[in-house]
Amino acid sequence: MDRQPVPAMAVTADMILQRRRGKRYTQAGVYLILCVLVLWSVQVTIIEDTDWARMGSLAEVWESTNRFIGIDFALFKDLIGPTIETFMIACLGTLLGVLLCIPAAWFGALNITPFKPVTYPLARLMMTISRSIHEIVWALFFVAAVGLGALPGIFAIAVRSVGFIAKMSAEAIEDIDPGPVEAIRSVGGNNLQVLIYAILPQILPQVLGVIIFEWEINIRRSAVLGLVGAGGLGLVFFRQMNTFNYHGVMSVIIAILALIVLGEAFSHRVRRAII
Amino acid sequence: MPSNPTPGPVRSSQLIWSRYKYPDTLIRYGAWLVFFVFLVYSIEYLNIPLDRLIGMFGRMGDTIANRYYPPDMAYIMDHDYLQYVVETIQMAYLGALFGLLLAVPLGWFAAHNMTPSKTFVYPIARLITMGCRAVHEMIWAILFVSILGFGMLPGVLALTFFCTGFAGKLLAEEIEAADMGPVEAMRSTGANLFQTMVFGIFPQIRVAVTGIAIYTWDVAFRAATVVGFFGAGGMGWYLKRNVLQIETERVAAILVSILILVMISESISAWARNKAMKMK
Amino acid sequence: MAILTVTDLHARYSSSGPEILKGISFAVEDDDFFAIIGPSGAGKSTLIRCINRLVEPAQGQIIFDGRHVTELPKRELRTLRRDIGVIFQEFNLINRMSVMDNVLSGRLGYTGNLRTLFRAFKRDDIEHGLQLLERVGLIDHVDKRADELSGGQRQRVGIARALMQNPKMLLLDEPTSALDPKISREVMGLIKQMATELKVPCLCNIHDVQLATEFCNKIIGLQDGYMKFNGPTEQMDEAKLNDIYAMEVL
């Protein structure tokens, strides 16, 4: 493949260099704006807002950090109960979330939503609300509504996780192979039968994976709900903090980490087995 | 599921069909049994008042209708409050930015295929990302508040730690999924590890990194609205004050404002993400 | 004089895995276009990758340009790799970068980290890149992204990138097996022409025997990690080919 007479060097190194330089100037401009924005934020949030006198010198900060180094081993036997509680809140919350997600996913999947103009946007709105509010806010809300204890924690976890599970399930439903649906319809199946025989088997592995993934995150969440009065390890953390038992605080953190690591290992195993 | 490997003439005994064969049935029913026992036991253990559960929703509705409605909208339109909103945004912005900046080297070191040293740097980077992510952002906030005092600095730090772990893990996964062909090509030109990263990996993950950055911002902003609850600055501090003073209508208004802000932020980032994906 | 001498080379992918190369010895002279043929799975790619240690050899000696390749520390290994251009089967271009940037990436071994970060290559490099792109017939595609090109064009970018290094030798890892026969011939012709012109010896790993006999002056035949043949192309005949490819027929 010979090229015909080459048009005397259409591109020169100068052109390329110049273009690159121009590009670099625009890039530099963008970064400059970014830097100004950062510096302004730093000025407002960190330099002006911080009570530097209260913080004191670096040595004092180091000293207050040092208070946390160490573990209160005696506390561990009192942590077993709350750890189990946290675990159970995560499990029950996920379970309730899964139950709530069935109607949400049904309404939120374009291909099976019963009455598109109403149910679809409604379901999508619920999913967004559920996902966009932080679990602590949900917990505050439910503590205010049903009182202290494990129950508001379960509600908070359930409501917080329903959005993600429902969104992923709805997407899975939208992606199904329509063949089996037609097959079940053609043997005279009604909507429910289509759901159970044609849709559910197709999305089950995927949805199960999502649920386990969310369960793993829920353990992490349920460990802090106690901070606002919803039981579990968070409550102990709060108490240790308020009684200035900093080594106890570290013990609670270790318990949380252990629980999370276990959950992660388990979820990793199960998800691999499913997929 | 065990399958019958010997296809042959159908014997009469095979005509009796059941959906699940023997060891399967045992596992299945056993699993359901364990599940229900666990369910009942945990309800028992957590002292959940099942009998009051139904009535609870009615009372919940009453409480909301009587005490939280109408939200005190004038309160959140207040100049002071709006300033806190801006500061919350700045806090989230800084936390996400610092977190991302730290996550870039950390994600690189924690990616199995590109890490400078598999025996030394890799496990450490792995441990740091995991630690940062496993500890909930609220716990980070409380710890930093107790060390540094009230204000936004502990909030920014808490968000930074959390975002580092969050983005670092995603980044490492992205690097591990990259095509190693260009990496091999760069290596064979005599490029060092850094150059291989810049030319071999980064162009491949650029779009994904944009996505991760937007996602991190989402998470950071959501958390930033609440870290103030534990003294780390921003809107959360207002929330805390009004919860303590049982100013329920104001609490409702603040919750509404959080909801609106997060939804605005989410729709902007959804739009940006779409835009970024189209850019390829 | 031999630019590359390989003696008794053994290689395996993992320390416990099966041996992929079982004692290979050959030498590449200054003006050779050296072909490695053999059925797939014979270890051709591994052999090529051992030369610049993309794969670590388990045992044996490789001497390139007077340097003991297997003993070089990291930094010197990079200088060695600068001197060996590699053209890959799947091109291994950076798809999201422009053709020019891809070609310039051949100079990374000579470029500092800061310049790399800002892609600020030296003026000489850019001029060299333009010359090479003109030679391989891509001067009109300088600013296109690599993934907009056709297969043959991409491999031309690969050639330009390898030559950007001013290599003392080229390693070709099945440079044409991802291309259709007509384009394959063109690309091989181009490589051969450039190599002769620049006086760069080539070590070429190739599946297509036809192409090997046509373009190469020496051939080694691999089968299952063993060397079955080593000699000038003229000595290669039907019987020996059948011997080398016997495994594949099975």
- Residue B133 inside a domain? The answer is yes
From chain B, pick out residues whose CB is under 8 angstroms from the CB of C94. Answer: 182, 185, 199-200, 203-204
Whole-angstrom Cα distance, residue B200 to residue A147?
Answer: 56
Residue B143 in any domain: the answer is yes
Neighbours of A76 (CB within 10 A): 15
Q: Do B185 and C84 touch (CB under 8 A)?
A: no
Tell me whether A16 touches chain C (CB under 8 Å).
yes
- The values of phi and psi at residue C176, to 5°, are -120, 0
Sorting pLDDT into bands at 50, 70 and 90, what band is B111?
very high
- The reply to whether residue A9 touches residue C134, judged by beta carbons under 8 angstroms, is yes
Domain count along chain B: 2
Please state the rounded mean pLDDT for residues C151-179: 92
Q: Which two tokens stand for residue C120?
A: 């600020």
B139 within domain boundaries: yes
Distance CA A112, CA C126 (A): 58
Superfamily of domain A73-274: MetI-like (1.10.3720.10)
**What is the spatial distance between Cα A228 and Cα A209, in angstroms, rounded to a whole number?**
30
d(CA A28, nearest CA chain C) in Å: 11
Q: Which of A6, A11, A17 sits opposite C142 (nearest CB)?
A: A11
In a domain, C185, yes or no: no
pLDDT, tens digit, 9 for 90 and up, residues B158-175: 999 999 999 999 999 999
Q: Is B136 in Cβ contact with A220 (below 8 Å)?
A: yes
- Do residues B35 and B157 both lie within one domain? no
Reported as a pLDDT band with limits 50, 70 and 90, residue A97 is very high
C37-95 pLDDT, tens digit per residue, is 988 888 888 999 999 898 889 889 999 999 999 999 988 999 999 999 999 988 899 98
Q: Over 90: is that where the pLDDT of B232 sits?
A: no
Number of domains comprising chain C:
1
Average pLDDT over residues C18-39: 90
**Containing domain of residue B267, as a range?**
73-279
User: Looking at the structure, do residues B132 and B241 belong to the same domain, yes or no?
Assistant: yes
Closest-CA residue of chain B to A238? B142
Q: Report CB contact under 8 Å: A6, C139.
A: yes
Neighbour count for residue B174 (Cβ, 10 Å) = 19
Same domain, B145 and B50: no
Backbone φ, ψ for residue B140 (5° rounding): -55, -45
CATH number at residue C213: 3.40.50.300
Lowest mean pLDDT: which of A118-122, A209-213, A269-273, C127-131?
A269-273
Phi and psi torsions of C24, nearest 5°: -105, 135
Which token pair is A114?
């019963």
- Residue B154 and residue B242 in one domain: yes
Residue C33's domain spans which residues? Answer: 1-73+169-176+202-250
Residues B246 and B272 in one domain: yes
Kindly tell me the sign of the dihedral angle through the C-alpha atoms of B241, B244, B250, B256: positive
Note whether residue B13 is domain-resident: no
Residues B210 and B255 in one domain: yes
Q: Specify whether B38 is located in the same domain as B141.
A: no
CATH number of the domain within which B81 lies: 1.10.3720.10
Q: What is the DSSP string of B156-200?
A: HHHHHHHHHHHHHHHHHHHHHTS-HHHHHHHHHTT--HHHHIIII
d(CA A245, CA A223): 19
B221 touches chain A (CB under 8 A): no
Residues B36 and B128 in one domain: no
Write out pLDDT tens, residues A217-270: 999 999 999 888 887 888 889 888 888 888 888 999 999 999 988 988 888 888
| Residues forming a β-bridge with C223 | C226
Tell me if C158 is assigned to some domain.
Answer: no
In a domain, B178, yes or no: yes
Q: ipTM higher than 0.90?
A: no
**Model pTM?**
0.85
Whether C69 maps to a domain, the answer reads yes
**Looking at the predicted structure, is the pLDDT value of residue A10 above 80?**
no
Q: Which of B202, B110, B221 is nearest to B163 (CA)?
A: B221
Chains with 3+ CB–CB pairs under 8 A to B are A, C
Same domain for B123 and B143, yes or no, is: yes
Q: What would the two tokens of residue A272 be?
A: 């691999």
